[in-house]
Amino acid sequence: MKLAMVGGAGFRTPLVYSALLRDHAPGRVTQVALVDPDAERLATMARILADQAQGVSDPPVVSIHTDWAEGLRGADFVFSAIRVGGTAGRALDERIGLSHGVIGQETVGFGGIS
């Protein structure tokens, strides 16, 4: 099975990949396509995942893509981990929430629903 991770150069990727490395059941993810506009961060992430896979038998194969269509092609599942506006966008979301006296937290707080 192929998993495409949109925003694949982000900090969540090693956490997801770590879980995939422990899964050896039939129907498991065997391919991971990291899709992100930042080629440099993608290359760094690919090295991090390669380090994680050291010593693991038959780890999911990782590919990196700046072209969204290419990365999503053939995906059985798409995981979206994008942060629109990057970290600057997150900081703005959090400051807006705080200016109104509410937590700007990015998942269930103001920053997560903005």
pTM, two decimals, is: 0.82
Residues 34, 5 contacting (CB under 8 angstroms): yes
Q: Which residues are annotated as a binding site for substrate?
A: 90
Domain ranges of the chain: 2-82, 85-114
| Rounded distance between C-alpha atoms, residue 56 and residue 59, angstroms | 6
Q: Which residues are annotated as a binding site?
A: 90
Asked: is 2-82 a CATH 3.40.30.10 domain? The reply is: no
pLDDT digits (tens, 9 = 90+) for 29-65: 999 999 999 999 999 999 999 999 999 999 999 999 9
